[in-house]
A and B are shown apart, each in its own frame.
Chain A
Amino acid sequence: MSTAITKKVERPPFWRDLRVLRVLIQVLSLAVIGAILYVLWFNLTTNMRAIGIRADFDFLTQPVGVSVTGSDIGAGSAVWRALLVGVQNTFALVVVGIPLLTIIGVLVGVARLSSNWLVSKAATIYVETLRNIPPLLIILFAFFVGVLPLPDILEPARILDLAIITNRFIAVTGFSAAEGFEIFGWIMLVALVAAIFVWRWRTRVFVQTGEPHHRVLWSTGLLLSVAVIAYLALQGPFELSKPVLAGRALSGGFSGLGGYFAMLVALVLYTASHVAEIVRGSILAVPRGQSEAANALALSGFQRLRYVVLPQSLRIAIPPTINQYLNFVKNTSLGIAVGYAEVTLIAFQAIGNGRPAPQMILLLMGAYLVFSLTISAVVNVLNRRLQLVGRT
C-alpha cells in the first residue's frame, strides 16, 4: 500500500502575487503607451489628410527643383539624390574631422599636464575658453572672421601653382583618375589586407621569439612597394591635377567649400577641447605609482607617457571619447547656419519647398542614427578589446 502525500502549494491571492503583477504591469504600461501612440498617429494622419499632405515616401523620386552647391544636383535630380549628396557632405566632415580632433585633443590634453608653465597655461586657456562656448558661435565666428575675409574669387591668393585660396573654396593639388585607376584601387585594397596580415604575423613572431618586430616598417614597406610596382605596371593610373581657375570656374585638384572649412575648423577645435579634458582626466586617473615606477626606471618623460601612462589611460578615456565623436557628428547639423550643404540643410530646403515635413524629418533622424550607431559600434569594438578581464 502506498500513501501519496499531496502537498498543497500556498499561492497568494492574484492581486498580491508577484508573478501576476509583473505581467499585469507590463501589459498595462504597454496598453497605455500604445494608446498614446495610437492617438498621436491618428492625429497625425488626420491632420495631414485634412491639409492635403501625403503620408508616403513618393516624394523621394520627385525632382528636387533646386540646385545644390558644390555638386551636380540640378533642378531635375530626384530628392533622394539630393539627400545622398547631403549625407556625403556630412561624411566628408566626419571622416576628416574625427581623426584631426583626436590628434589635437590628445596633444592638448597632454600639453595641459606639461612641466612647461607656458605650454600648460596656453592649453588651459584654450580648453577653458572653447569648452564653455556654444559650438554655433564658434562656427559663425570661424565663418565671419576666418572664411569671409579670404580673397575674392577674382583676385585669389595662390601658393605657387599648387593651391588656390578664395572665400568660396580652397583648392589644392590632387590627383585625378586616369586609365587603370580602378585596377590600381583593387590592388591597393588587396595590399592593405596583406599588410594587416603581415602586421599580425610580425607581432606573433615578436611574442614567440622576442625578436624586434619592426611591424610598422614591414607593413608600410609592403604597401609602398606594391604601390610603386602597380603604378609602374599600369603606366600611371593617376596623374597630378592642379587646380585651375578660369574666371569663376574651377577645374581640377581637390577643393573644399568655404563653409566646409569653417565648419571643420570650428567643430574640430570645439570637440578637441572636450577631448583634451577627457584625456587629462584619464591620465590623472592612472595610479601615481605607475609614473613613479617609470621614473625609477629612468624612462624619459616622453617614454613614460608613451609606454606606461597613455596605454593605461586609454581604457578610461574611450567611452567618454565615443560620446564626443557622436557630439561631433551631431554638431555637423549646424552647417545650415553657414550654408554648407550637409544633410540637414538639404532636408530643410526640401521642407521649405513643399516636401512633406514628417517624412523628411524622419529620414533626417534616421541618417543621423545610422552615423551614430556606426561610430559607436566601431569604437566599442576597440573598447571591448581594451577592457580589463577579471574582477571589476
Chain B
Amino acid sequence: MKRIKLLALISALILVMTACTTAGDGDETTTTAADGGGEDNGNGDTGGATLAEVESRGTLNCGVNDAVPGFGFRDPDGNFSGFDVDFCKALAVAVLGDAEAVNYVALNAQQRFTALQSGEVDVLIRNTTWTASRDGGEAATFATTTFYDGQGMMVRADSGFASIEDMADTTVCSLTGTTTEQNVTDRFGSIPFELLTFDDNEVLQESFVAGQCDGWTSDKSQLAGVRTNFPDSEGGPDALTVLDETFSKEPLGPVTRDGDTQWSQIVDWVVIALIQAEEFGIESGNVDSFDSSEDVNIRRLLGLEIEDDDGNTVVFDPGIGIDPGWPSAMITAVGNYGEIYERNVGPATPLGLERGPNSLWTDGGLLYAPPYR
C-alpha cells in the first residue's frame, strides 16, 4: 500500500513537472494555438494577435514547399531557397528586421490549410491558388498575388503532341484532390482520355518518366521546375515540352488566416512595396542613393524624412503596425520584385520563365501596386 502511494506521488510529481515545463514553453504548438488563435474561425477578429506573437517569438513560421525548384526547394543541407522563400524572408525583415529569422515549415498540398488554421504557420507562401472556395471554406485570406500562373500540360518532346486535341486516348497524370484534376477534365471535354492521379509528386514523377502517362498537368511554374531538373540520362530538359496552351488561371500568392486583418494587411503591403520598389527603380544595391530623392512618393516608401512647408520633418507611417522604414530594410535585404523574380525563376535561371503577366502594369503586365500613402 505504502509503495503504491509512493509510486503515485512520484508519478504525479513527474507529470506536474512535465506539464509545467511544456506549458511554459511558448513555442509548443498546442499552447500557441490556444493563446494565439483566439476565435479564428472567421467570425471573431483577433486583430494584432499574430503580429504580437511573431514579434515576441522572434521568428516567423512560414509554410513553404520543399520540392518545387525555383519556388520552394530544400537542398540536402536543409537550406531553403526559391521565389516564395524570398517573400518569407522579406516579411521577416519587415516585421523582425532579420531575413534569417524564419522557420520554414515544409507542407504538402493536403496539410497546408490545416497547418495555417491551427497556427502551426503564421503565413502560407506555397504556390497556393486564390479561389472563392478557399476564401470561403478554408478560413483563409489571400494577399496580393505574387505570381500569375496558369495550368499547363507537359509532354515528351518526341511524342509529337502540339495541343490537347492531339492527345486523344492518352493517359494524363496529376495530383489527387487538387484543382488541376477538375481543370484538365473540363478542358478535355469530350476528347477521351485517362486521368491517373497520385497523392505524391514523387510517385507521379516516376510514373511519368517510366512512360505510364503521356502528359503531366500542373501549374506551368511547377512544370518548368521539373523540366529543369530532368536528368540527362533521360534526355535532359530538351526531352520535355510544355504545351503553349494555358487552361486555367492560377493566381498564386501568400495566404493568412481569416480574422487577423492587421497581419493580413502587413503581408499585403510587403508584397505591394516590393512591386512598387521595382516601379520606382529601387534595387537592393541602390537604396541609399535615393536618400536625396525629390520624389515624395519614394521618400514615403523608404521612410525618409519629408519636409513640409513649415520646415517640419515627418516620416510617413501608414499605421499598419510596424516601424516605418521597413521597406528600405526589406529591399536592401532581398531586392525588389524584379530582382526576386530574376534570381529565382527568371530567364537567366534554369527555369527560364519570361515575365509575361508578371511584369509591371507599365510594361503591359498585371502587377499594379496601390499607392503607398
Contact = CB atoms under 8 A, between A and B. Distances in A.
B201 interface: no
A75 B184 CA distance: 10
Contacts of A354: 133, 137
Contacts, number: 103
Interface in A20-77: 47, 50-53, 65-70, 74-75
Contacts of A349: 176-177, 181, 197
Contacts of B110: 352
B137 A65 contact: no
Nearest to A151: B211
A67 B185 contact: yes
A12 to B, nearest CB: 27
B309 interface: no
A348 B199 contact: yes
Interface stretch (B8-16, B20-28, B188-196, B238-246): B188-196
A338 B211 contact: no
B177 A148 contact: no
Given A65-B182, A349-B181, A153 B211 contact: yes
Given A345-B176, A348-B177, A69 B196 contact: yes
B199 A336 contact: yes
B214 A339 contact: no
B181 A148 contact: no
Contacts of A167: 210-212
Nearest to B204: A339
Contact of B137 (A52, A69, A345): A52
Given A148-B212, A167-B210, A349-B177, A338 B198 contact: yes
Contact of B195 (A50, A52, A68): A68
B233 to A, nearest CB: 15
Interface in A250-278: 258
A239 interface: no
A148 B194 CA distance: 17
A149 interface: yes
A50 B210 contact: no
A51 B176 contact: no
B195 A67 contact: yes
A247 interface: yes
Contacts of A147: 212
A337 B199 contact: yes
A345 B41 contact: no
Identify which of B177, B206, B214 gathers the most chain A CB atoms within 10 Å of its CB. Answer: B177
B169 A248 contact: yes
A65 B185 contact: yes
Contact of B182 (A51, A148, A351, A353): A353
A330 interface: no
A347 to B, nearest CB: 10
A66 B185 contact: yes
Contacts of A338: 198, 203
A258 B195 contact: no
A75 B169 contact: no
A47 B214 CA distance: 42
A249 interface: yes
Given A148-B207, A148-B210, A50 B41 contact: yes
Contact of B41 (A47, A68, A149): A47
A12 B215 CA distance: 80
Nearest to B167: A248
B289 interface: no
Contacts of B207: 148, 339
B210 A149 contact: yes
A175 interface: no
A66 B169 contact: no
A197 interface: no
A145 to B, nearest CB: 11
Contacts of B103: none
Given A339-B196, A345-B197, A353 B212 contact: no
Interface in A325-344: 336-339, 341
A243 to B, nearest CB: 15
Contacts of A353: 177, 179, 181-182
Nearest to B136: A52
Given A68-B195, A352-B176, A339 B203 contact: yes
Interface in B18-44: 41-43
A144 B186 contact: no
A59 B192 CA distance: 26
A152 interface: yes
Contacts of B194: 67, 69-70, 168
Contacts of A144: 206
Interface in A132-184: 140, 143-144, 147-149, 152-153, 167-168
B211 A337 contact: no
A351 B113 CA distance: 13
A53 B185 contact: no
15 contacts: A50-B41, A50-B43, A51-B136, A65-B182, A70-B194, A74-B185, A75-B182, A248-B169, A249-B192, A337-B203, A339-B173, A348-B199, A349-B176, A349-B181, A352-B110
Given A147-B212, A148-B212, A339-B207, 10 more contacts: A47-B41, A53-B137, A67-B193, A167-B210, A168-B171, A337-B199, A339-B176, A339-B198, A345-B199, A348-B199
The 3 closest A-B pairs by CB, nearest first: A352-B177, A148-B210, A152-B211
Interface of B: 41-43, 109-110, 133, 136-139, 169-171, 173, 176-179, 181-182, 185-186, 188, 192-200, 203, 206-207, 210-212, 214
